[in-house]
């Protein structure tokens, strides 16, 4: 299965992470952050970077501005052996950035979308699509150029013989205007977290939300935070408890790292329980280093640390 190739389509941005902040922001005042990190950001890029570090052949399709932030992102992706030949540069907008204000295990984000707004179907490398076995898309609500065509994207990928996956992420406008009934039948793995699924369904109870959406999904892979993960299909319902670690740094990118672990095993043809267990492990590993990609440096080191987490030694 080593010849399986992944194409990630999505947004690209920088994360400026502020840690140990003395109080909450207030208009007319200045607060001090004791620490900060400047890292590769965005759900799509974190997923691509981490799954490439896990040994999956990964290419990225996205859009960057002609600026130093864009240069930084390209170099960071290439360091992780992500193929960037389908990353386009534009003069229309600057590269996006998210300012992350970290407060223990919670955070507040402020995002300038920039080039994320401009990515469209015309940027997808349809002429090369047969090179890939799987297509993943992240952060639907922050990419208005892709929103009207999301069902078409997945339908076309399926027609080309690819398996597919989707992580919606949060809707900053809180409208949740995603046509799941027409889109999700073409998505093999749908990867929301609990809050996102509740918001999408309009339900207050997780079981009601699952029941409402289940008939439209193929594989529903749910991120449940400190409750672990759950996979629901028309014939299976699997829950696996989380793997906790003793070296918690932050939760930035933990969900994307869960996705990376799940999709690595899914692309390799493993069972859903194996996919879910590995996703819980990679999600836990992510929290041991700052930012979304800090814990995913090389495959051998990752394997050692995952075994330590599994054996409760990390």
Question: Could you give the CA distance from residue 116 to residue 220 in angstroms, rounded to a whole number?
Answer: 26
- State pTM to two decimals: 0.94
For residue 197, being part of any structural domain is answered with yes
State residue 2's pLDDT score: 52
Residue with tokens 């190739």: 5
For residue 21, being part of any structural domain is answered with no
Task: Tell me the pLDDT tens digit for each residue of 197-227.
Answer: 999 999 999 999 999 999 999 999 999 999 9
Instruction: Please list the rounded mean pLDDT of every run of 10 residues in the chain (314 residues).
Output: 84 94 92 92 96 98 98 96 97 95 85 96 97 98 97 98 98 97 99 98 97 98 96 97 90 94 98 98 94 91 94 84
State residue 1's pLDDT score: 39
For residue 33, being part of any structural domain is answered with no
The alpha-helical segments, DSSP class H, found in 136-214 are 150-159, 180-183, 194-201, 206-213
Count of domains in the chain? Answer: 1
For residue 119, being part of any structural domain is answered with yes
Look up the CATH number of the domain holding residue 53. 3.40.1190.20
State residue 104's pLDDT score: 76
Burial of residue 5 (number of CB atoms within 10 Å: 0-12, 13-18, 19+): middle
State residue 155's pLDDT score: 98
For residue 30, being part of any structural domain is answered with no
State residue 160's pLDDT score: 97
For residue 293, being part of any structural domain is answered with yes
- Domain range holding 157? 43-95+115-310
Question: Could you give the CA distance from residue 60 to residue 189 in angstroms, rounded to a whole number?
Answer: 19
For residue 172, being part of any structural domain is answered with yes
State residue 66's pLDDT score: 98
For residue 25, being part of any structural domain is answered with no
């Amino acid at each position: 299965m080593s010849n399986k190739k992944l194409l990630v389509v999505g947004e690209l941005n920088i994360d400026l992470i502020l840690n140990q902040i003395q109080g909450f922001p207030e208009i007319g005042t200045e607060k001090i952050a004791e620490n900060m990190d400047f890292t590769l950001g965005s759900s799509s890029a974190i997923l691509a970077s981490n799954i490439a570090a896990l040994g999956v052949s990964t290419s990225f399709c996205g859009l960057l501005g002609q600026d130093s932030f864009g240069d930084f992102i390209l170099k960071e992706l290439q360091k992780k052996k992500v193929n960037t030949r389908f990353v386009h540069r534009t003069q229309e907008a600057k590269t996006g950035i998210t300012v992350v204000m970290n407060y223990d295990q919670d955070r507040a984000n402020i995002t300038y979308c920039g080039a994320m707004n401009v990515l469209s179907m015309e940027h997808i490398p349809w002429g090369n699509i047969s090179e890939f076995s799987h297509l993943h898309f992240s952060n639907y609500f922050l990419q208005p150029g892709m929103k009207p065509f999301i069902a078409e994207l997945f339908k076309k990928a399926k027609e080309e013989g690819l398996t597919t996956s989707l992580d919606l992420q949060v809707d900053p406008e809180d409208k949740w205007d995603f046509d799941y009934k027409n889109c999700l039948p073409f998505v093999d793995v749908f990867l929301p977290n609990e809050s996102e699924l509740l918001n999408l369904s309009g339900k207050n109870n997780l079981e009601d939300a699952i029941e409402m959406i289940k008939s439209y999904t193929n594989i529903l892979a749910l991120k449940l935070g400190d409750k672990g993960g759950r996979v629901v299909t028309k014939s299976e319902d699997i829950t696996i408890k989380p793997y906790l670690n003793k070296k918690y740094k932050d939760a930035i990118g933990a969900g994307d790292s869960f996705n990376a672990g799940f999709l690595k095993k899914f692309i390799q043809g493993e069972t859903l329980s194996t996919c879910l267990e590995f996703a819980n492990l990679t999600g836990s590993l992510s929290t041991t280093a700052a930012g979304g990609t800090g814990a995913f440096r090389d495959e051998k080191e990752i394997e050692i640390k995952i075994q330590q987490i599994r054996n409760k030694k990390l």
